[in-house]
Amino acid sequence: MRYLIIANCYKELEENPSRLKKIEILSDFLSKLRRENNKEIIYLVQGRVFPDYNTKELGVSSQLIKKAISKSIGASEEKITNLWKKLGDLGLVAEELVKTKQQRTLSSKQLDAEKVIENLRKLSEFVGKGTVEKKLSLIAELLTSASPLEAKYIVRTVLSDLRIGVGEGTLRDAIVNSCFPDKEKKQSSVLVQEAYDKTTDFFYVFKKACSGEKSLKNIELVPGTAVKVMLFLKEENIKDAFKRVGKPAAFEYKYDGFRMMINKTEDKEIKIFTRRLEEVTAQFPEVVEYAKNNINAKTFIIDSEAVGFDLKTKKYRPFQEISQRIKRKYNIEGLQKKLPVEINVFDVIYYNGKNLLNAPFKKRREIIEKIISEEKWKIVLSKQIITSDEKKAEKFYEKALEEGHEGLMIKNLESEYKPGSRVGSGVKLKPEADDFDLVVTGAEYGTGKRAGWLTSFDVSCRHQNKFLEIGRVSTGLKEKEEQGLSYKEMTKKAKALITKSKGKHVEIKPEIVVTVAYQNIQKSPTYSSGFALRFPRFKKLRQDRIKSDIATLEEIRKRNVG
Ligand code: ATP
């Protein structure tokens, strides 16, 4: 398929903010793609070249893009920098410069989508000497054959900033429209969503959907590819929790760590994914060992919480302290010794070749009890009681909090495992929260001794596909990195994501998720959400969260009222 067809589709999507219109545009595009052999092109619609569970990065900085534009179009880097300042987007810069070049040369070769995918995939493969040069040539090769519109979107794709407003839900609905135009929409939508939650791969889902509903239904779990985790609703007290999940229910400690899906494949390989679908196998060698030695099964997908602990005092540590292990690429062993984790297993969805998604929770628990050889501080089962008695449940709750856990998870014994859904068959219970997970969308440079640092940050909640500001946070950051979340760390992270700057203020691509505590919420015309957090302060950085996990406007409205 010609890349120009995709570029035109991007353009239309960018120009039409309405979700319904976007679905229509995408459905038309997918109907064309249905006729192509290579349906992997669907990744490009997501601004990607790999399935969602594959978190390989293209590793291309804005500086490198500037060089690639310069090499392919022949403009000086200074000219590119000036134009970037003016237009605020390197994609637009590339478009503009290719336009001027074409007026001069009139030479443009045809660019295929397959070639774009091939070159971008190669970008993620290089390491070591000569990497920059090789990456530069691959991008420049694409830009040399690109039309202005194509150049714009190639640059944006390489920078992972496509800006066409297509999320998972929009793509799902477009697949439904193009593959099942005559079927009942809601039912087909559930089917496509379930297939995606099991595989986290829209190419695979689309390919199956093209062959009909039956193929989609038959999609199986495959250990070794990421699955979306099941999420839980929140209740305020034990009584309401019983009302929601029924009696008797399983009560488990809610551990304060991060979610780990531990897989063992047919080839006996262990693979670990976070709830963001990032693969973190290399970062947790000790967990690989526990999975090999302490889980007695040929193949599995196990759901668990990894919790950090202090080797000397044998006390659990807050999530924030161990979160750095998720991203660490060097000296992994040293960090492992300093910040070890204990695996608390609470579910299993695949065991010895069998999909257990539809098995009742009590059966799944039986299986983990059977196959896990517990070893304290290595791998254990989540602590659990089964009861119908409110008093017993209250006691268990108190004990969990006393022992320093976050609260309880309360689960229906008969329920299925629903990947990706926030279902009512399980709920969480924890003391009244006075914080939200929000995303950073802007920032301002400090003055005096903090002049080079970004010191105050605009934070936003989510409303459909938009991010709406709800406050500006400047307290809670530390001077030194050892003390917690520091100015230095936040500045480094935020600077890499600047999309526009005006005076001391910068706009930030919404990627950094933070937990922000506050005293109360007020209605306020100052921010686009219509609400303002009073006395907001940073609590922690949530490296395990993505922007779709943050608080919604609806949740904020509810807390403001109640
Ligand atoms: P929170 O911010 O309260 O941790 P969340 O957004 O992570 O919530 P929820 O589904 O609301 O996700 O809460 C469940 C989370 O609690 C799980 O994602 C998991 O990481 C963690 N957890 C800890 N212990 C358990 C347990 N025993 N069973 C299930 N989840 C557990």
CATH number of the domain encompassing residue 454? 2.40.50.140
Q: How far apart, in whole angstroms, are the C-alpha atoms of residue 191 and residue 362?
A: 25
User: Nearest C-alpha to atom 26 of ligand 1 is from which residue?
Assistant: 254
Residue 248, preceding bond cis, omega within 30 degrees?
yes
Question: Taking the mean position of all CA atoms in its chain, how far away is CA 176?
Answer: 23
pLDDT at position 562: 47
From 429, 460, 480, the end of a domain falls on 429
Please tell me the total count of domains within the chain. Answer: 3
Name the residue of 233, 305, 438 whose CB sits within 8 Å of the most ligand 1 atoms, as the mutation to test its pocket: 305
Q: Are strands 300-308 and 341-351 parallel, antiparallel or unpaired?
A: antiparallel
Dihedrals phi, psi of 259, to nearest 5 degrees: -70, 135
445 and 396 in a single domain? The answer is no
262 and 404 in a single domain? The answer is yes
Query: What are residue 534's DSSP bridge partners?
Result: 520
Name the residue of 428, 514, 548 whose CB sits within 8 Å of the most ligand 1 atoms, as the mutation to test its pocket: 428
Residues noted as catalytic: 254
In which band, very low, low, confident or very high, does the pLDDT at 103 lie, cut at 50, 70 and 90?
A: low
48 and 105 in a single domain? The answer is yes
| Ligand 1 centroid, distance to 219 Cα (angstroms) | 27
User: Nearest C-alpha to atom 4 of ligand 1 is from which residue?
Assistant: 256
137 and 239 in a single domain? The answer is no
Q: Does the structure show a pLDDT above 90 at 57? A: no
pTM: 0.74
- Whether 419 maps to a domain, the answer reads yes
pLDDT single digits (tens) 467-484: 999 999 988 888 887 777
pLDDT at position 428: 93
pLDDT single digits (tens) 413-453: 999 999 987 877 899 998 866 899 999 999 999 888 888 89
Q: Which domain holds residue 110?
A: 3-158
149 and 269 in a single domain? The answer is no
The atom number, within ligand 1, closest to the CA of 231 reads 10
- For residue 504, what is the DSSP state? T
Q: Sign of the C-alpha dihedral, residues 229, 230, 236, 238? A: negative
Judged by DSSP in three states, 174 sits in: helix
- Whether 224 maps to a domain, the answer reads no
Plot region of 4 (φ>0 → left; ψ -120 to 50 → alpha; else → beta)? alpha
Name the residue of 253, 254, 546 whose CB sits within 8 Å of the most ligand 1 atoms, as the mutation to test its pocket: 254
- Whether 416 maps to a domain, the answer reads yes
pLDDT single digits (tens) 170-183: 999 999 999 999 88
In which band, very low, low, confident or very high, does the pLDDT at 104 lie, cut at 50, 70 and 90?
A: low
**Percent of the chain residues topping a pLDDT of 70:** 98
Quick one: tokens of 289? 């060992």
Query: What are residue 260's DSSP bridge partners?
Result: 304
118 and 132 in a single domain? The answer is yes
The CATH number covering residue 26 comes to: 1.10.3260.10
Q: How far apart, in whole angstroms, are the C-alpha atoms of residue 32 and residue 26?
A: 10
Task: Give the least confident one: 40-54, 321-335, 399-413.
Answer: 321-335
From 131, 158, 185, the end of a domain falls on 158
425 and 481 in a single domain? The answer is no
541 and 404 in a single domain? The answer is no
Mean pLDDT of all residues in 185-199: 93
| Ligand 1 centroid, distance to 407 Cα (angstroms) | 10
Mean pLDDT of all residues in 288-316: 95
Beta strands in 267-376 (DSSP E): 270-273, 300-308, 341-351, 354-355
pLDDT single digits (tens) 472-523: 998 888 888 777 788 999 999 999 999 888 889 999 999 999 999 887 888 8
Which of 147, 152, 176 minimizes the C-alpha distance to 164? 152
Q: How far apart, in whole angstroms, are the C-alpha atoms of residue 480 and residue 489?
A: 9
The atom number, within ligand 1, closest to the CA of 234 reads 11
| Ligand 1 centroid, distance to 255 Cα (angstroms) | 8
In which band, very low, low, confident or very high, does the pLDDT at 105 lie, cut at 50, 70 and 90?
A: low
Q: Sign of the C-alpha dihedral, residues 175, 177, 182, 186? A: positive
Q: How far apart, in whole angstroms, are the C-alpha atoms of residue 376 and residue 344?
A: 10
The atom number, within ligand 1, closest to the CA of 233 reads 11
Which tops the pLDDT comparison, 250 or 450?
250
Q: How many CA atoms lie within 13 A of 551 on its CB side?
A: 28
Q: Are 71 and 77 in contact (CB under 8 A)?
A: no
Q: How many CA atoms lie within 13 A of 135 on its CB side?
A: 25
474 and 409 in a single domain? The answer is no
416 and 473 in a single domain? The answer is no
Q: Are strands 354-355 and 341-351 parallel, antiparallel or unpaired?
A: antiparallel
pLDDT single digits (tens) 2-41: 999 999 999 999 999 999 999 999 999 999 999 999 999 9
- Whether 171 maps to a domain, the answer reads no
106 and 9 in a single domain? The answer is yes
415 and 450 in a single domain? The answer is no
User: Nearest C-alpha to atom 24 of ligand 1 is from which residue?
Assistant: 254
Judged by DSSP in three states, 521 sits in: strand
Q: What is the DSSP string of 271-293?
A: EEE-TT--B-TTT-HHHHHHHHH
Q: How far apart, in whole angstroms, are the C-alpha atoms of residue 524 and residue 140?
A: 48
pLDDT at position 154: 98
Contacts of 79 (CB under 8 A, 6+ apart): none
pLDDT single digits (tens) 348-360: 999 999 999 999 9
Pocket residues for ligand 1 (CB within 6 Å)?
231-232, 252-255, 259, 305, 346, 382, 409, 428
